[in-house]
Structure 1
Amino acid sequence: MSVTKKSSRSLASIASIVAIATLISKIVGLVREQIVAAAFGVGEVVNAYAYAYVIPGFLLILLGGINGPFHSALVSVLAKRDKSEAAPLVETVTTLVTAMLLIVTVILVVFAGTFIDLLAPGLESEVREIAIFQLRIMAPVAMLAGLIGIGFGTLNAADQYWLPSISPLFSSITIVIGVGILLWQVGEQLNTPEYFQIGSLILAGGTVAGAILQWLAQLIAQWRSGLGSLRLRFDWRIPGVMDVLKVMAPATLSSGMLQINVYTDLYFVSYLSGAAAAMRYANFIVLTPVGIISNMILVPFLPVFSRLAAPENWQELKVRIRQGLFLTALTMLPLTAVFLSLALPIVRLIYQRYQFNEEAAQLVAPLLMVYGLGMFFYLGRDVLVRVFYALGDGETPFRVSILNIFLNVILDYFLVKSFAAPGVVMATISVNVFSMVIFLSILHRRLHGLPLVEWGLTWLGLVFASVLASLGSWGVSWGFERVLGNNNFLLLLLELGLATASALIIFILIAMQFKLPELELLTSRIRQKIRR
């Protein structure tokens, strides 16, 4: 019996667990960003941190992220094996990964200055020095990222979803506590050299401390479940190890190619003052709902995709692919409508206080609008990538990712000239659209036909619903400001609440006309949660 087959949980049950845990983690993350914004605004500390965090953050997302290649590879393999085989397999993979990433950690410490210069040649000298300092502190995250990713995959394959989904909040908590103490200690004495130096240390040190806590929590859970410990194993002939590496290697390269696009974006905006910090703040607002919803969709679907990989199950696999894509559309498109129509009020409500002023809000809001446009394509691409992983094919996403790098560089070059920082986000959206088209065409051929025309027409109908929802939301917001204004927190909150509700109602009313089974599934789950 496989590790996951012992579970009787439904997809909806798993999604609920993941959603609640991720929601808690994201709320704490939002509090973290609010405190960081209040303490440092879009100034040099956060701008430096945005670049210092590129490589550690890249590895944390790439290797340690839920739905990342380590997670996907372990779930894909362990889902098909007996639980008794899990511990030696996991310990062997952990030994190999730790040895490799320890070397990476040392390289980051020694060559921190070189990496920052490659990442951001346009940084001012003071910001550059802060970024180098922060990168050296955060270097151990490289090794911890691999261990966290292994823990994610192992625990999910054993039907444990709560701890992996909630554990990212450890990093947020450590930063919140550190920055909170800093603000409490300095009072009104902001903008001093000592303040910025201590703040830089707290951001970097809190990131490392959080990663350590996240790994330790997962390790304890693994050990108690009999899924591996800190034991070193060097026997690569253990059954399943090569299967994991076969998926993990190309999947890591593929996801790594995607993260290279992030580096490319930051390279081009390094010459724009405050742009990196502004992108960080806008991106986090978008990633809060995307992170919750992506975990709801991708985490429970990946084992299902894997179990339907055999040709005799392809009809059911097509149904599940459709389910993943339309659940993505039904959750992302109304959020796109909200971010397009209410970007500035949202930024003001979340961030505008203390060091984060109106000028910073005006810098972040256009980025939030453009990020909102790409939400469906970002998550839809991830759904399709997981189908390829489930089919044992990590090579196709890798090849597409290589093409994406060149496409992203070209688009960044031209779009930054025309649209400044929002141009790099437009380039990312274009790359994700290109990826989805390629993936769907390949799956259409490989799975002997997908109803792409039917799916496409329905999706266009939902896009139309999103456009109308955005216009309706903007109208409510505009009218509210003309009548009551929004010059205090409560009025601004009320404006956003009414305008957001209007967008959701308009979208749902139009979407209901399509009689989508995915909408029935989504609404039934929401009703069940409300009744509870």
Structure 2
Amino acid sequence: MTKQDQKPSRSFAGIAGIVAIATLISKVFGLVRQQAIAAAFGVGAAATAYSYAYIIPGFLLILLGGVNGPLHSAVVSVLAKRKQEEAAPLVETVTTLVGGLLLLVTLAQIVFADVIVDFVGHGLKETTRAIAIQQIRIMAPMALFSGLIGIGFGTLNAANQYWLLSISPLLSSITVVAGIGILALQYGKDIILPEYAYIGGMMLAWGTLAGAILQWLVQLIVQWRLGLGTLRLRFDFKSPGVQQVIKIMTPATISSGMMPINVATDLYFASPIPGAAAGFNYANLLVQTPLGIISNIILLPLLPIFAKLAEPDNWPDLKIRIRQGLLLTAFTMLPLGALMVALSVPIVQVVYERGAFKQEATQLVSSLLIAYGIGMFAYLGRDVLVRVFYALGDGQTPFRISILNIFLNIVLDWFFVKPFGAPGLVLATVGVNCSSMLMLLWLLDRKLNGLPWREWSVPIISLTAASLVSGVASYATLVGCQQVLGKSGLVILLVELSIAGLVGLGLFAIFASWMKIPEVNTFVIRMRQRFLKKGNQV
């Protein structure tokens, strides 16, 4: 498709190595950003308001404008099958179409900011409500930039440009951390006081917007240099390539658009629970840090491969690649989820417990982290299957499932919030993801004329059992370390967390090696070669 196609194609592990390093850097900055927010604002008015104000603009940036989002997936699925000279006109036309639509979304957020806040945060205090309304209006242009970023990500992915895709999100983190640093220099420790909540809230909003703009500008420069489109307006909406993008993009975007409804539903049930909204953000980041790295490692290389194997003659190879994606997901997500459950309290203490973030906040966030950990495999496994449908040119199936999940999420929120409180809302999301994954598998079985269920399920069940054992071992090790070393002090917590984590991961590695799963063993060997022998390609 592009100039890069003329070069020898990279191996899966080679791409995964690039993505892993770049995404790790980006996620580390994201973690630092959330630590800065936690230390400066805790679960106070500024952070709570930001949690509500960020629902729509943040969703658009992270999902619609993110790596592996619907725009990214649609553009990759089409460009991976087309010639280089078709790329720039197609990208410019899609950008014109999407940009125009998202300008309307931007204006709607500005006009209806108060309605949005009142809908999702019906129990907010007046000060928090006022901050959230102003934050939405500041961050509204992120709707436009999210679309431009998503299209750019797809364009660069199809051109085998993986480094920028994975590292550019750190720009949003840098701008927010820089803003908090400026406030800290100006106001010192007083920034944690309630009377400075409005100033802090505005800084969070402006910093977030600035990061999105920078992310788009950096990406745009690379696109121009590769000849993959400029800011030229094109209106050739009826061209075959653009129609194909629209066919995938429209239901995929609408399907992703259902997620804010689910988030809004969760926040509606959470609003009477003190600090729950901010707690969701803190716990979610702890999950998204490893999840984002691993999802990029797995999905970025696989999506173009899925697209190239979409024809019926290639379906046997496509099934092999789907199995590879699911088994690598299980191999990474299941043990990490077990560690999240077993070590939730020390994880939260080490990452967040300083400044305005007290023991009460630790208890809340750790309980949420346990619930998130339970569902990590289903979250990423669902994403792998959704990308298969996009590669097959079918955006309707994930869309229909997402519609059904809105109602399922409401029912599960209502059912779980009473006995479990805030963690119950996360468990509802886990239930929705599990339901989605099972429905996608069943429909994919029919679409591809049968799936090898036994070949797929046995190793996944085995990895699940190994993860449970490793989680129990980690928790037992943690309790033993606490009996000897105590439970206080950052250094002590780090030592205990490291020992318990290594015991769990080591035990899981022994079990996984004993299982001799071909995809896992091959991937581990190639990744080891990639990192230990620089430049070696398999």
**TM-score of the alignment, normalized to the shorter chain, above 0.5:** yes
**2:417 matched to 1:416?**
yes
User: One-letter code of the match for 1:67?
Assistant: N
> Which ranges of structure 1 fall in alignment gaps of 5 or more residues?
none
Q: Which residue of 2 aligns with 1:178?
A: 179
Q: Which residue of 2 aligns with 1:316?
A: 317
Q: What's the offset of the Cα at 1:531?
A: 4.7
Tell me the matched-pair count.
532
Q: What's the offset of the Cα at 1:259?
A: 3.7
> C-alpha offsets along residues 198-252 of structure 1, whole Å, 9 cap, x if unaligned?
2111100000000000000111111111000111111223341111111100111
Contact in 2 for aligned 1:4/1:79 (Cα 8 Å)? no
Give, in whole Å, the separation in 2 of the partners of 1:395 and 1:258: 16
**2:75 matched to 1:80?**
no
Give, in whole Å, the separation in 2 of the partners of 1:520 and 1:379: 20
| Deviation larger for 416-425 or 232-241 | 232-241
Q: What's the offset of the Cα at 1:186?
A: 1.6
SS state of the match for residue 189, structure 1?
helix
User: One-letter code of the match for 2:517?
Assistant: L
> C-alpha offsets along residues 474-517 of structure 1, whole Å, 9 cap, x if unaligned?
11110101011132111111111110000101111112222101
Give, in whole Å, the separation in 2 of the partners of 1:91 and 1:239: 14
User: One-letter code of the match for 1:214?
Assistant: Q
> C-alpha offsets along residues 19-63 of structure 1, whole Å, 9 cap, x if unaligned?
111110000010001111000011111111000000101211232
Q: Which residue of 2 aligns with 1:357?
A: 358
**2:202 matched to 1:196?**
no
Give, in whole Å, the separation in 2 of the partners of 1:126 and 1:198: 12
Q: What's the offset of the Cα at 1:3?
A: 7.0
> Aligned ranges for residues 284-303 of structure 1 at < 5 Å?
284-303=285-304
Q: Which residue of 2 aligns with 1:11?
A: 12
* Root-mean-square deviation over aligned CA pairs: 1.3
- TM-score normalized by structure 2? 0.97
Give, in whole Å, the separation in 2 of the partners of 1:502 and 1:232: 57
> C-alpha offsets along residues 439-498 of structure 1, whole Å, 9 cap, x if unaligned?
111111221221112322221111110111011101111010101113211111111111
Give, in whole Å, the separation in 1 of the partners of 2:196 and 2:310: 55
SS state of the match for residue 189, structure 2?
coil
SS state of the match for residue 309, structure 1?
coil
Contact in 1 for aligned 2:20/2:297 (Cα 8 Å)? yes
> C-alpha offsets along residues 96-120 of structure 1, whole Å, 9 cap, x if unaligned?
1111111111111111001111111
Give, in whole Å, the separation in 2 of the partners of 1:390 and 1:43: 44
Q: What's the offset of the Cα at 1:66?
A: 0.6
**2:137 matched to 1:136?**
yes
Q: Which residue of 2 aligns with 1:236?
A: 237
> Aligned ranges for residues 319-358 of structure 1 at < 5 Å?
319-358=320-359
**2:432 matched to 1:448?**
no
Q: Which residue of 2 aligns with 1:493?
A: 494
Q: What's the offset of the Cα at 1:129?
A: 0.8
Percent sequence identity over aligned pairs? 60
Q: Which residue of 1 aligns with 2:27?
A: 26
Contact in 1 for aligned 2:13/2:523 (Cα 8 Å)? no
Give, in whole Å, the separation in 1 of the partners of 2:491 and 2:166: 32
Q: Which residue of 2 aligns with 1:278?
A: 279
Q: What's the offset of the Cα at 1:255?
A: 1.6
Contact in 2 for aligned 1:62/1:252 (Cα 8 Å)? no
Q: What's the offset of the Cα at 1:191?
A: 4.0
Give, in whole Å, the separation in 2 of the partners of 1:343 and 1:23: 21
Q: Which residue of 1 aligns with 2:390?
A: 389
Q: Which residue of 2 aligns with 1:253?
A: 254
Give, in whole Å, the separation in 2 of the partners of 1:2 and 1:244: 18
User: One-letter code of the match for 2:371?
Assistant: V
Contact in 2 for aligned 1:174/1:206 (Cα 8 Å)? yes
Q: What's the offset of the Cα at 1:194?
A: 4.9
User: One-letter code of the match for 1:501?
Assistant: L
User: One-letter code of the match for 2:135?
Assistant: Q
Contact in 2 for aligned 1:18/1:162 (Cα 8 Å)? yes
Give, in whole Å, the separation in 2 of the partners of 1:369 and 1:303: 34
Q: What's the offset of the Cα at 1:188?
A: 2.7
Contact in 2 for aligned 1:3/1:81 (Cα 8 Å)? no
> C-alpha offsets along residues 156-178 of structure 1, whole Å, 9 cap, x if unaligned?
11111111211111110000011
Q: Which residue of 2 aligns with 1:370?
A: 371
Q: What's the offset of the Cα at 1:522?
A: 3.0
Give, in whole Å, the separation in 2 of the partners of 1:84 and 1:301: 24
SS state of the match for residue 203, structure 1?
helix
Give, in whole Å, the separation in 2 of the partners of 1:188 and 1:206: 20
Q: Which residue of 2 aligns with 1:404?
A: 405
Give, in whole Å, the separation in 2 of the partners of 1:233 and 1:527: 46
Q: What's the offset of the Cα at 1:196?
A: 1.4
Contact in 2 for aligned 1:343/1:365 (Cα 8 Å)? yes
User: One-letter code of the match for 2:25?
Assistant: I
Give, in whole Å, the separation in 2 of the partners of 1:336 and 1:485: 25
Query: Structure 1 residues 444 and 239, CA, compared in 2 at 3 Å: closer, same or farther?
Result: closer
Q: Which residue of 1 aligns with 2:103?
A: 102
Give, in whole Å, the separation in 1 of the partners of 2:490 and 2:314: 54
> C-alpha offsets along residues 367-401 of structure 1, whole Å, 9 cap, x if unaligned?
00110010000000000000000111000111111
User: One-letter code of the match for 1:375?
Assistant: M
> C-alpha offsets along residues 126-169 of structure 1, whole Å, 9 cap, x if unaligned?
11111101111100001111001011001111111111211111
> Which ranges of structure 2 fall in alignment gaps of 5 or more residues?
none
Give, in whole Å, the separation in 1 of the partners of 2:93 and 2:397: 27
Q: What's the offset of the Cα at 1:407?
A: 0.5
| Deviation larger for 486-495 or 366-375 | 486-495
Contact in 2 for aligned 1:4/1:157 (Cα 8 Å)? no
Query: Structure 1 residues 288 and 457, CA, compared in 2 at 3 Å: closer, same or farther?
Result: same
User: One-letter code of the match for 1:107?
Assistant: A
Give, in whole Å, the separation in 1 of the partners of 2:514 and 2:140: 52
Contact in 2 for aligned 1:2/1:79 (Cα 8 Å)? no
Give, in whole Å, the separation in 2 of the partners of 1:470 and 1:95: 50
Q: What's the offset of the Cα at 1:414?
A: 1.2
Give, in whole Å, the separation in 2 of the partners of 1:11 and 1:421: 39
SS state of the match for residue 15, structure 1?
helix
Give, in whole Å, the separation in 1 of the partners of 2:445 and 2:194: 58
SS state of the match for residue 234, structure 1?
coil
Contact in 2 for aligned 1:222/1:229 (Cα 8 Å)? yes
Q: What's the offset of the Cα at 1:184?
A: 2.4
Give, in whole Å, the separation in 2 of the partners of 1:143 and 1:409: 29
Contact in 2 for aligned 1:3/1:157 (Cα 8 Å)? no
Q: Which residue of 2 aligns with 1:439?
A: 440
User: One-letter code of the match for 1:486?
Assistant: K
Moved over 4 A (4+): 1-5
**2:267 matched to 1:266?**
yes
SS state of the match for residue 190, structure 2?
coil
Give, in whole Å, the separation in 2 of the partners of 1:19 and 1:368: 23
Query: Structure 1 residues 92 and 486, CA, compared in 2 at 3 Å: closer, same or farther?
Result: same
Give, in whole Å, the separation in 2 of the partners of 1:362 and 1:436: 30
User: One-letter code of the match for 1:474?
Assistant: Y
Q: Which residue of 2 aligns with 1:126?
A: 127
Q: Which residue of 2 aligns with 1:54?
A: 55
